[in-house]
């Protein structure tokens, strides 16, 4: 301590702005949102892209096109329930579906590290094609770059997608109204914890499989049934908590959910408890929140549950007209607390 006696009360100075990207900037929480605002939206914001929806929709003739892009850097690239290839298709297809658009065409750009096994690349490509066929999209253009060994993580994929929005469909935070119900299409946390258990080498009695899936069939079923869907949001990085906070902020409305209505598989809950994670903050790749008119909520749950009875949908709460425009949660023991967006990325706790 520089030769001076240590003070009885010790605390550090605030950290100066470090001026470098850290892993916390990629976690889907407040750091990432700050980065998007400070660097990208400050420069790129326009009437079509304001960062508040998963895909931009563009008027073309009498209809609307939806356009989106996403990059996939998952480690490990192969995991229970999927791989980086199927994920790259599902992620972009789902961003289109969240805009109410039927996915049509994808691009696929690969950044490969020198030394990556060709057989594994073929496995990824097979997986992409299977996922594309199942989602009803075609991969119509692409690009490949190779970087030197040890400069990357083996394989990265970027996909962009184009979809078509049917007339009369206009989903977005602006359409959210007080009283709307919050529906989720299944149990939460599987994808994040499947990846985490792989990385940590956990030997779990019940292996956790990713929920990675294309969501358009579910969205289409809701729209076809005439459900008054006001907004959709997939629950990827940052999980349900981040998605609902984004929707609350961009719609200017409060959201209240009940913790015991949120389905989480026992194995997912168990690993989350061990690592100190909250399932509501964990990433999903086949789950979304639908904000629907209250009179349609029960029907929406029934429609979604019928599509995959093994992971039934749930009505977990409502949009409210509370003055505090935030997301609150009634805990399992009946006490209300704030459900905040995660800061940085989730890191396993010590004990």
Q: Which is nearer to another protein, 38 or 166 (CB)?
A: 38
What is the crossing angle of helices 190-200 and 266-275, to 10°? 50
Give the count of residues interacting with another protein (CB under 8 A): 47
Stretch that binds another protein, among 56-64, 128-136, 306-314, 336-344 (CB under 8 A): 336-344
Q: Which long-range contacts (CB under 8 A, 24 or more apart) does 199-205 make?
A: 199/75, 199/76, 200/275, 200/348, 202/271, 204/267, 204/270, 204/271, 205/267
Residues 29-88 that bind another protein (CB under 8 A): 30-31, 34
In this structure, what token pair is assigned to residue 28?
A: 């889907």
Question: Using the rule CB under 8 A, is 206 a contact of another protein?
Answer: no
For strand 327-330 and strand 254-258, is the pairing parallel, antiparallel, or unpaired? parallel
Question: Using the rule CB under 8 A, is 344 a contact of another protein?
Answer: yes
Question: Using the rule CB under 8 A, is 14 a contact of another protein?
Answer: yes
| 174-199 burial: b if 16+ Cβ within 10 Å, else e | eebeeebbbbbbbbbbbbbbbbbbbe
Q: How far is CA 232 from CA 82, 94, 126, 208, 252, in A?
A: 24, 10, 30, 26, 16
Q: Cβ distance 279 to 268 under 8 Å?
A: yes
Question: Using the rule CB under 8 A, is 23 a contact of another protein?
Answer: yes
Question: Using the rule CB under 8 A, is 323 a contact of another protein?
Answer: no
Q: How far is the CB of 201 from another protein (least distance, A)?
A: 8
Write the binding mask 242 to 281 for another protein: x where contact by CB under 8 A, - elsewhere: ------------------------x--xx--x--x-----
Question: Using the rule CB under 8 A, is 347 a contact of another protein?
Answer: yes
Question: Using the rule CB under 8 A, is 10 a contact of another protein?
Answer: yes
Residues in touch with another protein (CB under 8 A): 1-2, 6-16, 18, 20-24, 30-31, 34, 200-201, 266, 269-270, 273, 276, 324, 326, 331-338, 340, 343-344, 347-351
């Amino acid at each position: 301590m520089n030769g001076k006696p240590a003070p009885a009360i010790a605390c550090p100075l605030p950290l100066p702005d470090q001026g470098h990207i850290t892993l916390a900037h990629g976690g889907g929480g407040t750091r990432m949102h700050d980065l998007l605002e400070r660097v990208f939206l400050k420069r790129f914001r326009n009437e079509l892209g304001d960062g508040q929806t998963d895909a931009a929709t563009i008027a073309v003739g009498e209809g609307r096109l939806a356009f989106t892009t996403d990059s996939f850097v998952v480690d490990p690239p192969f995991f229970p329930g999927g791989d980086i290839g199927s994920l790259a298709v599902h992620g972009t297809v789902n961003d289109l579906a969240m805009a109410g658009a039927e996915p049509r065409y994808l691009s696929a750009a690969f950044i490969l590290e020198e030394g990556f096994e060709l057989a594994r690349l073929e496995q990824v490509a097979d997986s992409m094609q299977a996922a594309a066929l199942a989602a009803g999209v075609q991969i119509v253009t692409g690009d490949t770059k190779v970087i030197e060994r040890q400069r990357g993580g083996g394989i990265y994929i970027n996909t962009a997608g184009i979809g078509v929005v049917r007339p009369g469909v206009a989903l977005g935070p602006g359409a959210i109204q007080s009283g709307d119900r919050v529906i989720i299409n299944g149990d939460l946390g599987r994808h994040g914890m499947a990846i985490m258990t792989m990385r940590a080498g956990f030997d779990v009695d019940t292996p956790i499989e990713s929920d990675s899936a294309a969501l358009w069939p579910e969205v289409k079923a809701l729209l076809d049934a005439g459900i008054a869907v006001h907004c959709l949001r997939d629950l990827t990085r940052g999980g349900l908590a981040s998605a609902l906070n984004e929707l609350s902020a961009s719609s200017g409305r409060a959201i209240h959910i009940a913790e015991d209505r949120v389905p989480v598989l026992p194995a997912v809950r168990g690993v989350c408890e061990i690592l100190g994670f909250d399932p509501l903050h964990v990433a999903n790749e086949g789950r979304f929140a639908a904000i629907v008119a209250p009179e349609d909520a029960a029907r929406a749950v029934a429609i979604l549950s019928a599509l995959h009875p093994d992971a039934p949908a749930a009505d977990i709460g409502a949009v409210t007209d509370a003055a505090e425009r935030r997301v609150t949660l009634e805990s399992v023991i009946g006490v209300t607390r704030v459900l905040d967006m995660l800061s940085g990325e989730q890191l396993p706790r010590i004990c």
